[in-house]
Amino acid sequence: MPIRASAAASETVDIVGPVCESGDFFARDRQVPSIAEGELLAILDTGAYGMALASNYNTRPRAAEVMVSGKTAKLIRKRETVADLLRNEMSGL
């Protein structure tokens, strides 16, 4: 769901990941509050985007992980950077 208190309108959307693969869908034809470009979305179960199944396919840095308990949220794993991805590749130069 969108990370904000309320929305006046809703729309039917597909929620997709950034990998540009035909199977990179979180939801299809889902009715959600209207979301503007750049807004954040909270998704409870993310499959391969969560750390348990994460990879660096297509040189994608792994996402940050946030633990949410009630109204409290805590960063438990920082977002990976491109420098993190290349660190081992460049170490021999």
Nearest to 7 by CA among 47, 41, 58: 41
- For residue 12, the 8-state DSSP code is E
Enter the tokens of residue 12: 């039917």
- What is the domain partition of the chain in residue ranges? 1-44
Nearest to 17 by CA among 46, 42, 39, 37: 46
Identify the active-site residue in 20, 36, 40, 83.
20
Give the pTM.
Answer: 0.59
Q: Residue 11: is its pLDDT beyond 80?
A: yes
Q: Give yes or no: 31 in active site.
A: no
Confidence class of residue 93 from pLDDT cuts 50, 70 and 90? low
Exposed/middle/buried for 9, CB within 10 Å: 0-12, 13-18, 19+?
A: exposed
